[in-house]
């Protein structure tokens, strides 16, 4: 069946450095790719998303890139801060269907 | 204003008991979900309701029974609780296939 692979599972960076999390999806019909941030003791919250007709989207320190040919997309966080420490989930969705597949999560630690 | 709320936040109970978790959303969404998150943080879809109609029912023991009295509520009832049911359960809602809004989670511990 369809799946979404997410790497790395854990990532530690120094404050101020950049962090990159990558996801690969299998269903070529997937056309919407959100990213969620889950802080300790809370539910996942949408932080940025991208649709398949766009190659890159940026919102302040976070950006997402999409390579449809290779079927992978990435989350980029620049100038990381301690409050960026959380678990991040990617997801791949096929619009108009029930298919909403989450990646396995990446635990990001930003070291002060 | 709370968008997706769940009660209780913590639930500690003995094996064999029956318990319920309640969820409410005030976003006007038409689709609601229950997810189970295990200790490794994997998010696993359990159920999904669209306009009160069950549309996703993943491989979940029939001890788990969702109930949607209206579009704004989706409750989860669990019979004969087992140790392996211990996890964090998240309710979420969305407008059909759009982005999901998650509740704060219910941490269930079965002793």
Split at pLDDT 50, 70, 90, the class of B10 is very high
User: Of B48, B90, B99, which has the smallest distance from its Cβ to A43's Cβ?
Assistant: B90
Q: Which residues of B touch A96 (CB under 8 A)?
A: 97
C-alpha atoms less than 13 angstroms from C-alpha of B77 in its C-beta half-sphere: 6
User: Which of B23, B94, B100 would best serve as a mutation to test chain A binding (most A beta carbons within 10 A)?
Assistant: B100
Please indicate whether, in this complex, the C-beta atoms of A42 and B48 are within 8 angstroms of each other. Answer: no
Please indicate whether, in this complex, the C-beta atoms of A100 and B100 are within 8 angstroms of each other. Answer: yes
pLDDT tens digits, residue range B46-92? 999 988 888 887 878 999 999 999 999 999 999 999 999 999 999 99
Give dist(CA A64, CA A48) in Å, integer.
Answer: 7
Q: Which residues of A touch B90 (CB under 8 A)?
A: 43-44
Q: Which residues of A touch B104 (CB under 8 A)?
A: 41-43
pLDDT tens digits, residue range A55-104? 999 999 999 999 999 999 999 999 999 999 999 999 998 877 777 889 99
């Amino acid at each position: 069946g369809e799946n979404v692979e997410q790497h790395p599972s854990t990532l530690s960076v120094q404050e101020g450095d950049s962090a990159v999390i990558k996801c690969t999806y299998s269903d070529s019909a997937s056309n919407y790719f959100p990213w969620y941030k889950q802080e300790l003791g809370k539910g996942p919250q949408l932080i940025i998303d991208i649709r398949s007709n766009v190659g890159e989207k940026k919102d302040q320190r976070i950006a997402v890139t999409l390579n449809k040919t290779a079927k992978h997309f990435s989350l980029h966080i620049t100038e990381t801060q301690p409050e960026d420490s959380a678990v991040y989930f990617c997801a791949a969705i096929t619009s108009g269907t029930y298919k909403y597949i989450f990646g396995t999560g990446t635990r990001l630690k930003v070291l002060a | 204003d709370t968008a997706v709320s769940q009660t209780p936040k913590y639930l500690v109970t003995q094996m064999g008991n029956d318990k319920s978790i309640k969820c409410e959303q005030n976003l006007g969404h038409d689709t609601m979900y229950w997810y189970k998150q295990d200790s490794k943080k994997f998010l696993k879809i359990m159920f999904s309701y669209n306009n009160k109609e069950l549309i996703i029912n993943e491989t979940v023991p029939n001890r788990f029974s969702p109930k949607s009295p209206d579009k704004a509520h989706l409750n989860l009832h669990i019979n004969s609780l087992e140790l392996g049911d211990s996890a964090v359960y998240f309710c979420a809602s969305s407008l059909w296939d759009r982005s999901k809004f998650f509740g704060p989670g219910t941490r269930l511990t079965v002793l």
